[in-house]
Amino acid sequence: MKNKMGFTLQEGEAQPSRCPDNSAFKQQKLPAWKPQLTIATVLSSFFLIGAFCLSVGICLILSSNSIREIQIDYTDKCSDCSKLRENTSNWNKECYCSANFTLKEDILGDVFMYYGLQNFYQNHRRYVISRSDAQLLGRNVNIQKSYCAPFTTYRNGTPMAPCGAVANSMFNDTIDLFYNINSSVIQVPLLKTGNSWWTDKNVKFRNPKSHNLSSAFAGTARPPYWQKPVYLLDEEDERNNGYINEDFIVWMRVSAFATFRNLYRRLGRIRQFKDGLPAGNYTFHISYNFPVTKFKGRKQVILSTVVWSGGRNPFLGIAYVVSGATATLTGFVITAIHLKLRKKKTYFQR
């Protein structure tokens, strides 16, 4: 005779038991904590969570509102340069424009300059993966086997450095800030380095090993939309060139949304700017190289301070307030239901 598991049993032989062993572990008899959900613990949990979320949310909103921020949209102010850049054959022609603004009050503390883009989608899968991380580490790799296509090589076989759609579309406007005081113009000192993540600067990006950068990138060519090769991105600081150029590193960290801003410069706290930006008249001088009209985009330059919670972003504070209000409201609803049911129970018991 065979049992259900296919084992042959002799007559009179007992069928083996399929129950787990009679041990504390297998019979789930080990000591364990079982929460007792009484009305007092449930209500206190909802009200405590609500109070915590509301307090954190209000603090985040107040800190975000305390940030000083100036946004200048220069899309229309530079319309002539935009028309020039729509024709790719004009890549080697320089075009400059300017945007004026006035600070009515001093902006004290550290001041950060961002560039902002609208309607520029970096979250398409083909765009995001269009890069070669091995190439960006300075390795000698065959980029034909990477995801960089169609931005891998030119028709004559010269490889692009760096390759890929992300690198090719790098934001390359040059923005300088000038302070107008007493009929004189003073250039505001802006720092180019120290603006990227430490892990990006020291781990994810490396230049090819060579005695100089020009020889390291010999046999390669700039991406089609660039005005200069990768080893000349910063002609003033040779340590800020190649794949470790901080403008390039910041751009290569793609955004999840179509409207975003990237850190571009930091204010150098020296001379009359040691306390921040003084009130007065300012001018942005822009070397226009990045066209946005074809995809109906817009460009901004932003000056902003930061607080303990970061830059201006009210979303997190609003999310905490909504969560706290929802938890508190749920607590009141449960309280009302409990009182109503308790009243009915008392009535029927009588």
HEC sequence for the chain: CECCCCCECCCCCCCCCCCCCCCCCCCCCCCCCCCCCCHHHHHHHHHHHHHHHHHHHHHHHHHHHCCCEEEEECCCCCHHHHHHHHCHHHCCCCCEEEEEEEECCCEECCCEEEEEEECCCCCCHHHHCCCCHHHHCCCCCCHHHCCCCCCCECCCCCEECCCCHHHHCCCCCEEEEEEEECCEEEECCEECCCCCCHHHHHHHCCCCCCCCHHHHCCCCECCCCCCCCHHHCCCCCHHHCHHHCHHHHHHHCCCCCCCEEEEEEEECCCHHHCCEECCEEEEEEEECCCCCHHHCCEEEEEEECCECCECCCCHHHHHHHHHHHHHHHHHHHHHHHHHHHHHHHHHHHC
pLDDT band at residue 36, thresholds of 50, 70 and 90?
confident
pLDDT digits (tens, 9 = 90+) for 227-259: 889 999 998 888 899 999 999 999 999 999 999
Q: Provide the token pair at 319.
A: 């999310």
By percentage, how much of the chain surpasses pLDDT 70?
93
pLDDT band at residue 71, thresholds of 50, 70 and 90?
very high
Q: Which of 190, 85, 208 shows the shortest CA–CA distance to 140?
A: 208
pLDDT digits (tens, 9 = 90+) for 3-34: 555 555 555 556 667 788 888 778 777 787 77
The pLDDT value recorded for residue 11 is 57
Would you say residue 339 lies in a domain? Answer: no
Average pLDDT over residues 310-314: 83
By percentage, how much of the chain surpasses pLDDT 90?
61
Would you say residue 255 lies in a domain? Answer: yes
Would you say residue 340 lies in a domain? Answer: no
Average pLDDT over residues 208-237: 90
**Number of domains making up the chain:** 1
The pLDDT value recorded for residue 124 is 92
Judge whether 207 and 72 are in contact, CB under 8 Å: no
Would you say residue 258 lies in a domain? Answer: yes
Determine the structural domain holding residue 90 and report its residue range.
56-316
The pLDDT value recorded for residue 349 is 56
> Which one is predicted more confidently, 67 or 211?
67
Model confidence at 122: pLDDT above 60 = yes
pLDDT band at residue 212, thresholds of 50, 70 and 90?
confident
pLDDT digits (tens, 9 = 90+) for 137-157: 999 888 888 899 899 999 898
Would you say residue 327 lies in a domain? Answer: no
Contacts of 333 (CB under 8 A, 6+ apart): none
The pLDDT value recorded for residue 183 is 83
Would you say residue 111 lies in a domain? Answer: yes
Average pLDDT over residues 314-324: 94
The pLDDT value recorded for residue 347 is 52
Average pLDDT over residues 203-231: 90
Q: Provide the token pair at 229.
A: 């090769």
Average pLDDT over residues 83-112: 88
Model confidence at 1: pLDDT above 70 = no
Would you say residue 324 lies in a domain? Answer: no
pLDDT digits (tens, 9 = 90+) for 266-305: 999 998 899 999 999 999 999 999 989 888 999 999 999 9
The pLDDT value recorded for residue 328 is 96
Q: Which residue type, as a one-letter code, is found at position 344?
A: K
